[in-house]
A and B are shown apart, each in its own frame.
Chain A
């Protein structure tokens, strides 16, 4: 069904891309264009296509959907654009528009969407993966991600999905006091693939505060990214209500915190939810953001060389770049890698939808990690961590991949 809402989304996208000068400055910044240099793949191509779609010059068909789906939503183009044009936001809108036009997302995303909507199913899936996870791998080395087939099924909903937002979420302005009630947001990706890392997060939080542990719902990003906006809004409301008694909501998944920080924008026109959503978004913090503010010192210092991969949703998406580095510098010998903030090719379900392309993107990331000579590459997002783990495997054990909570 094509509702007024989806037409409105297309119009919003058109307004964004109307500022595109076609200068091409963004082209070489796009990790996908680097691998597939065809105009439609680059940000300029995507923007001009959007304009043509809105003006009726290109058919709104599955081919157009393929173009807008083939995007990491990593925002590298936004940074490179002289006008900071929000290609990623336009793509999310056009995805929703085209999916609505085609009668909603395909069966794959619909199924995944409903899996991710149910807390119980997420937990069940997590349990299943836990059983399947090979034994003998200690919590410091998250090779223990589930076998390919299972992650393939569950991963899209598992965590990041696309960075579905028009602008950077400002780092939280929350004042922390000893009395602040801190809640942990347990992301689906962390729950299903990296429960050990999540347990470490909780342990760290316990060392500085008394974290509230809630049975939260999915942040809704997978739904937003795959044309299930309605579901996203529904989940958001549930989470808003659930965390009303917390002062701070800490997440150890870049994608969850990024999404939650933006929830307010989706309720700006909703008289009933507007204020509650704004209050909720304001209290969301990424783990490292929170820890630095709370004055946390890493539990131990190791001699290992550590390097850091900036998740798109955390670095570009939330402007949280210095805090994880600060913590890592205190925890070990930190070495910066070249292009630390370039997308790893994970991008929610992208790495499963386009495995060859994702592999090529990851290969250059691996090269950069290897060049640092690091023993461990650290990430703050489960999908990035899956990618980093693949890179670690491909490197033949030159380095390991870990979540930040496992290192600090």
Chain B
């Protein structure tokens, strides 16, 4: 419990209207978008909504002095329990720090506060012809701070990488309230340890990101969408691999398995040729239409050599939307199938994609569960989704065994636990398996050095 005295000093630090402590508000900041049950609720003692780095610094100084846990929070769109205040204390919600501070067109960089929503930053830069590529599917709601803390990525990762590929400099408030600046606008900045990348992906356990300078690239002038149907999942994956080997790099390459296709076509009331077992949806981009046509032609050659049964190029924006609707409608269509579902997020070497899918399908048979598999085949990031019902204990036991199996399958082929959603609470049990004992110990030493009292987002990652 936080004393009235401490609450008073928090109010002084950020203004009374930016401190919430009613029961209902505390409940509102007890959950995130993970599949953790909402009850019993991990309510924070108090929610603090700062608007400047100085305020964050004051809040951290107070928390540090009294050993109060602090859980940073963006939009709580993470899938792994990362912004759930496991040990109560303060939820530090950064979504009121919403200023984009500078667009440096000469250097092609943008400097922003952490509470800016991903889509807003994208649009802001796009208006100037500059491109901030990381596009988590949650981009309408997620914040840049949350993206950096989770090292988020999206469909375009295959060509453009993840958030850490764009982080140039960070301002971070440390556990004791010290404000640290790391990195800068110089591209060749190799002085000392690379702290900016240490904080990127640290899930709020090492410091609070209060400002970020991000690299931008020129906006591709043209985009195109292709849809290719295959008789097997292997053929779809092989096509994407072959494309990459031939240096045709798609902006996005999504693959859906047979179950996914069945679900979407049922929902959208389309009948698919029964020979079709998988589908790839590919986005290409380039300087002009000729460049796109050339790419599409090469992709078609690769795909047909590998036995594609249907190849379609969107001729207009609406056709492209239509093709993407297949993929976008998936998550919603899957959600309608069962009372609950657990969507996982493993990443494997691209070459192992079909093998992992096969293993996952076997798990589905073994435990008598429906597991839908889709994902970003271009970068080996899969989202196996297990349909379930939280109220059915026997079923849930099988679900958890299957999920253990999914992680084992990922690790067995040299993959990892998370492609984009982080570790948070839900994947903690697997962390040693993924990083090795030495890896985890090294991280713990870093954590101990930066957060000696263990107040920053306690209970996460390990």
Listed in ascending order, the chain A residues whose CB lies under 8 Å from chain B are 18-19, 21-25, 27-28, 37-40, 45, 48-49, 51-52, 55-59, 63-64, 67, 82-83
Task: For the complex formed, measure the closest distance between the CB of A4 and the CB atoms of chain B, giving whole angstroms.
Answer: 22
Can you list 17 contacts pairing A with B, beta carbon distance less than 8 Å?
A22-B34, A23-B138, A24-B75, A24-B141, A25-B138, A27-B75, A39-B25, A45-B28, A48-B31, A51-B38, A56-B39, A58-B23, A58-B27, A63-B22, A67-B24, A83-B332, A83-B336
**For residue B341, which residue of chain A has the nearest CB?**
A21
Task: For the complex formed, measure the closest distance between the CB of B44 and the CB atoms of chain A, giving whole angstroms.
Answer: 11
Q: Are B141 and A28 in contact (CB under 8 A)?
A: yes
The reply to whether the CB of B32 lies closer than 8 angstroms to some CB of chain A is: yes
**For residue B331, which residue of chain A has the nearest CB?**
A82
**For residue B390, which residue of chain A has the nearest CB?**
A18
Q: Please, which residues of chain B bring their CB within 8 A of the CB of A28?
A: 117, 140-141
Task: Please give 9 more A-B residue pairs, beta carbons under 8 A apart, in addition to A19-B335, A82-B332, A83-B336.
Answer: A23-B33, A24-B77, A24-B138, A39-B29, A40-B27, A48-B27, A52-B39, A58-B27, A67-B24
Q: Closest 8 CB pairs between A and B?
A: A39-B28, A24-B141, A57-B39, A82-B332, A40-B28, A22-B33, A24-B77, A45-B28
Task: For the complex formed, measure the closest distance between the CB of B341 and the CB atoms of chain A, giving whole angstroms.
Answer: 9
Q: Please, which residues of chain A bring their CB within 8 A of the CB of B395?
A: none
Task: For the complex formed, measure the closest distance between the CB of B36 and the CB atoms of chain A, giving whole angstroms.
Answer: 9
Q: Please, which residues of chain B bring their CB within 8 A of the CB of A48?
A: 27-28, 31, 38
Q: A37-B95, A57-B38, A82-B332 are in contact. Are A23 and B27 (CB under 8 A)?
A: no
Q: Are A23 and B77 in contact (CB under 8 A)?
A: yes
The reply to whether the CB of B40 lies closer than 8 angstroms to some CB of chain A is: yes
Q: Are B332 and A49 in contact (CB under 8 A)?
A: no
Q: Are B20 and A38 in contact (CB under 8 A)?
A: yes
8 A Cβ contacts from B345-382 to A: none
**For residue A82, which residue of chain B has the nearest CB?**
B332
Q: Please, which residues of chain B bring their CB within 8 A of the CB of A52?
A: 27, 38-39, 41
Q: A63 to B22, alpha carbons, bound, how many Å?
A: 9
The reply to whether the CB of B96 lies closer than 8 angstroms to some CB of chain A is: yes
**For residue B27, which residue of chain A has the nearest CB?**
A58
Picked from A21, A40, A57, the residue with its CB within 8 Å of the CB of B335 is A21
**For residue A15, which residue of chain B has the nearest CB?**
B339
Task: For the complex formed, measure the closest distance between the CB of B357 and the CB atoms of chain A, giving whole angstroms.
Answer: 24
Q: Please, which residues of chain B bring their CB within 8 A of the CB of A55?
A: 38-39
Q: Please, which residues of chain B bring their CB within 8 A of the CB of A24?
A: 33, 75-77, 138, 141-142
Q: Are B31 and A22 in contact (CB under 8 A)?
A: yes
8 A Cβ contacts from B100-142 to A: 117, 138, 140-142
Which of A27, A51, A64 is packed against the most chain B CB atoms within 10 Å?
Answer: A27
Q: A59 to B22, alpha carbons, bound, how many Å?
A: 12
**For residue A24, which residue of chain B has the nearest CB?**
B141
Q: Please, which residues of chain B bring their CB within 8 A of the CB of A82?
A: 331-332, 335
8 A Cβ contacts from B1-51 to A: 20, 22-25, 27-29, 31-34, 38-41
**For residue A39, which residue of chain B has the nearest CB?**
B28
Q: Please, which residues of chain A bring their CB within 8 A of the CB of B20?
A: 38
Q: Please, which residues of chain B bring their CB within 8 A of the CB of A64?
A: 24
Q: A25-B140, A27-B141, A51-B38 are in contact. Are A59 and B23 (CB under 8 A)?
A: yes
**For residue A85, which residue of chain B has the nearest CB?**
B335
**For residue B339, which residue of chain A has the nearest CB?**
A18
Q: A64 to B27, alpha carbons, bound, how many Å?
A: 11
**For residue B76, which residue of chain A has the nearest CB?**
A24
Q: Are A58 and B24 in contact (CB under 8 A)?
A: yes
8 A Cβ contacts from B131-164 to A: 138, 140-142
Q: Are A49 and B24 in contact (CB under 8 A)?
A: yes
Q: Please, which residues of chain B bring their CB within 8 A of the CB of A83?
A: 332, 335-336
Q: A66 to B32, alpha carbons, bound, how many Å?
A: 23
Q: A39 to B27, alpha carbons, bound, how many Å?
A: 9
**For residue B91, which residue of chain A has the nearest CB?**
A39
Q: Are B24 and A40 in contact (CB under 8 A)?
A: yes
Q: Are B27 and A57 in contact (CB under 8 A)?
A: yes
Task: For the complex formed, measure the closest distance between the CB of A141 and the CB atoms of chain B, giving whole angstroms.
Answer: 38
Q: Are A38 and B332 in contact (CB under 8 A)?
A: no
Q: A45 to B23, alpha carbons, bound, how many Å?
A: 13
Q: A40 to B117, alpha carbons, bound, how many Å?
A: 19
Q: A45 to B25, alpha carbons, bound, how many Å?
A: 9
Q: A45 to B47, alpha carbons, bound, how many Å?
A: 15
**For residue B20, which residue of chain A has the nearest CB?**
A38
Q: A58 to B40, alpha carbons, bound, how many Å?
A: 10
Q: A55 to B37, alpha carbons, bound, how many Å?
A: 11
Task: For the complex formed, measure the closest distance between the CB of B410 and the CB atoms of chain A, giving whole angstroms.
Answer: 23
Q: A52 to B39, alpha carbons, bound, how many Å?
A: 7
**For residue B74, which residue of chain A has the nearest CB?**
A24
Q: A19 to B338, alpha carbons, bound, how many Å?
A: 9
Which of B24, B95, B331 is packed against the most chain A CB atoms within 10 Å?
Answer: B24
Q: A293 to B339, alpha carbons, bound, how many Å?
A: 42
